[in-house]
Structure 1
């Protein structure tokens, strides 16, 4: 999985640099977040700017990470239309807040 992790105060920003978040990517996503879990502050921000498609495996891995990081806030930034609709359809938008920019997501921790 192509990604970049940036610590910014209490926030860890994980930029996913892939177009497809599917069954092929899901295991490595869980592995990366598992390794980062010790370093994640109180807020994990998933930057989905590059993600054009997410299937149920990708969605399931995000939910697994949500459970793994219990007690920490998880947000998504700039989800593309298809991803945003999937989050809404599955009601995950009730658990994971969506923001238009990293700055907006980080500002919630200020």
Structure 2
């Protein structure tokens, strides 16, 4: 999985640099988060600008990470329309807020 992790104060930004977030990527995504779980601040921001497609496996991986974080905040930044619609259709947008920019996600923590 192509990704980048950036730490900004209490926020950890995980930028997913893949076009598809599907069954192939889901286990790798969970593994990356597990590997870095001790470094994640109070807020995990998933930067999904590059993700053009997400299936149920990708959504399941995001929800597994949500549970892994045990009360820490998780949000997504700049989800493309198909991803945003999937989150809304499954009502996951009620648990995972989406923002238009990294700065607005970080500001929401304040």
Q: CA deviation at 1:51?
A: 0.1
> TM (normalized to structure 2)?
0.99
Unaligned regions of 5+ residues in structure 1, if any?
none
Match of 2:86 in 1: 86
Match of 2:31 in 1: 31
Q: Distance in 1 between matches of 2:36 and 2:74?
A: 14
Match of 2:44 in 1: 44
Match of 2:76 in 1: 76
Higher share of residues assigned helix: 2
Unaligned regions of 5+ residues in structure 2, if any?
none
For the aligned residue pairs, the C-alpha RMSD in angstroms reads 0.4
Q: Distance in 1 between matches of 2:103 and 2:2?
A: 22
> TM (normalized to structure 1)?
0.99
Q: CA deviation at 1:100?
A: 0.2
Total equivalences in the alignment: 110
Q: CA deviation at 1:73?
A: 0.1
SS in 2 for 1:59: helix
SS in 2 for 1:4: strand
Q: CA deviation at 1:105?
A: 0.2
Q: Distance in 2 between matches of 1:34 and 1:58?
A: 16
Q: Distance in 2 between matches of 1:74 and 1:108?
A: 11
